[in-house]
Chains A and B, each alone.
Chain A
Amino acid sequence: MRRRLAAFGVTASLVLSLILGLAGCGDPDQQMLSEGARSAREAVSGVRTAQLAAQSLLGGRIWAQPATVMVTDAEDALGQVATTFDARQPETDESRQTYDLYSEALANAADGVTDLRIAVRSGDLETVRQLVAQLDKTAEQLEQLGERAQ
């Protein structure tokens, strides 16, 4: 009985160590890149949604209230993506560089959509038009960053 218990204990410890090892000992640089790329892809969604809503407003296809709600929702989603990514801790110099690159891109995107929300809500259509064009570049940059890893 004791032997069995001991064998079970050893097996359980091995399995636990393996799980903890797999969970914690991945390449930190690769992990940071993967997480950054995933966040960038999620951010593209927010930027493109805000852009689409603003373009629809400019084209007279939706009225101001739904446009404001849609852009605000996109802003909230982007803010969440940026905050979640910013909470990560870079462990090496390379992962620090990756962190800074993605963090800056996400912050730029969030700021751009915030500016868009302010312009939409205040009915400043000229600024909306300019910001929509700017967000196009932001989205393209994020798309490229999103393709750097799975």
Chain B
Amino acid sequence: MKRLFAVTLGILTAIGGFVDIGDLVTNALVGARFGMRLAWVVVVGVIGICLYAEMSGRVVAVSGRPVFDLIRERLGRRTGLFALIASFLVTLLTLIAEIGGVALAFELASGVNYLLWMPLAAFAVWLVIWRVKFSHLEQVFGLLGLLLIVFAVALWKLGPDWGDLVQQATSPGPIGHETWATYAYYGIALFGAAMTPYEVFFFSSGGVEEKWDRRDLVTERSNVFIGFPLGGLLSLAIAGCAAVLYLPIGVQVETLGQVTLPAAVAFGKLGLAIVLLGVFAATFGAALETSLSCGYTIAQYFGWQWGKFVRPRQASRFHVVMIICLILSILVLMTAVDPVKVTEYSVVFAAMALPLTYLPILIIANDPDYMGEQKNGRVLNFFALVYLGLLLLASIAAIPLMIVTRAGR
């Protein structure tokens, strides 16, 4: 019974924790501009993150060591450094976007400018990381993130023409004044949002924090194969709401307020309150995860003591890295850069860094010295290689498309 509870809790946490500011903004933006015509990218992205998150979780459960630790050991310092730089910078950019997201949620609720909320948000992130147990912070914000299910209920309440939504989803391609270039650009952005690198680092390092072993493979797989796809459905619901409310009247989503408005239109003040709480939980939870991931990647690469399973004094450099990242986030956001724009860029840059993140994981998951009998099978490797090809394609096309479309304009 206790085991079943743990598995269920893990799944619920994975659903609630799947959506972050990148998913919120990108799905709403894409839904408003293309309807459900890019829904297939979410499906492809969710399958991809499931494949690679399962691999990294399995690596942890079998070897007892996190992915970046093994990347450095298996691929050497220089190759590991490439993966570290790419993944770290993207994770830092995502952290900046998440802190901005938390501040924007408070701005919407209070009317007070987000720039005033932002240092408080960053301080709260540090405080929670410093004081709260790992399992608690993961569960509380993951479960609160489940409030975003309000998007799915709002979609139903808005009374869409379901046949039309299905027809959109099964007719990929640009519409109206959109071009194939913008369609491809936002496809890559959605792909990057679904497969954000920090998700696997947090997932694998979290496995070490929670002392996973081979017996935890069931929990790990149920989190990934049930929790993530259900989280992906939330992403589709966000896109669906925007497609129903905004596409017919030509609204382009550029602010967090626009992302949340469909819930208010469907359920009034209660809907708005729930969605704001859900957005806060999703962005704050992701800010915790990205802060920790910044610390994890650097500390694991350099072989420092890391993690919340030891006292902060014993992992001082790990905590210093997180504090520096949070200060950097405040400084960047203090320039009054639009957090939504930062989010849009972060998901595209994430797409560019994806091969450097996922190739090492694939190599390690195939190494019998680390994995023994639990190394990848042929079928899994086939799909993993197909995905690696897709990741490479997205990575190469991201910058040219960004230039050609003037960042999706």
Residue numbers of A with Cβ under 8 A of B are 38, 41-42, 44-45, 48-49, 52-53, 56, 59-66, 68-70, 73, 77, 139, 143, 146, 150
Contacts and interface: CB of A to CB of B under 8 A. Distances in A.
Contact of B109 (A45, A66, A139): A66
- Which residue, B246, B257, B271, has most C-beta atoms of chain A within 10 A? B257
A56 B261 contact: yes
Nearest to B267: A61
B250 A70 contact: no
Contacts of B107: 69
Given A41-B177, A48-B250, A48-B251, A66 B258 contact: no
Contacts of A68: 111
Given A70-B255, A73-B257, A77-B254, A52 B265 contact: yes
A45 B251 contact: yes
Contacts of A56: 261, 264-265
A5 to B, nearest CB: 29
Interface in B230-280: 245-246, 249-252, 254-255, 257-258, 260-261, 264-265, 268-269, 271-272, 276
B110 A65 contact: yes
Contacts of A64: 111
A66 B259 CA distance: 12
A66 B255 contact: no
Given A60-B268, A150-B177, A49 B250 contact: no
Given A41-B177, A56-B261, A61 B254 contact: no
Interface residues of B, number: 26
A14 to B, nearest CB: 22
A66 B111 CA distance: 6
A73 B255 contact: yes
Contacts of B249: 44, 48, 52, 139
B269 A60 contact: yes
Given A66-B260, A66-B276, A146-B250, 13 more contacts: A38-B177, A38-B409, A44-B251, A45-B251, A60-B268, A61-B268, A65-B109, A66-B111, A69-B257, A70-B257, A73-B255, A73-B257, A73-B258
A60 B254 CA distance: 24
B226 interface: no
Interface string B93-124: 00000000000000111110000000000000
A41 B250 contact: yes
Contacts of B257: 49, 53, 66, 69-70, 73
Contact of A65 (B111, B250, B254, B268): B111
20 contacts: A44-B250, A44-B251, A45-B250, A48-B246, A49-B257, A56-B264, A59-B268, A61-B271, A62-B261, A62-B268, A63-B272, A64-B111, A65-B110, A66-B109, A69-B107, A69-B108, A69-B257, A70-B255, A70-B258, A73-B258
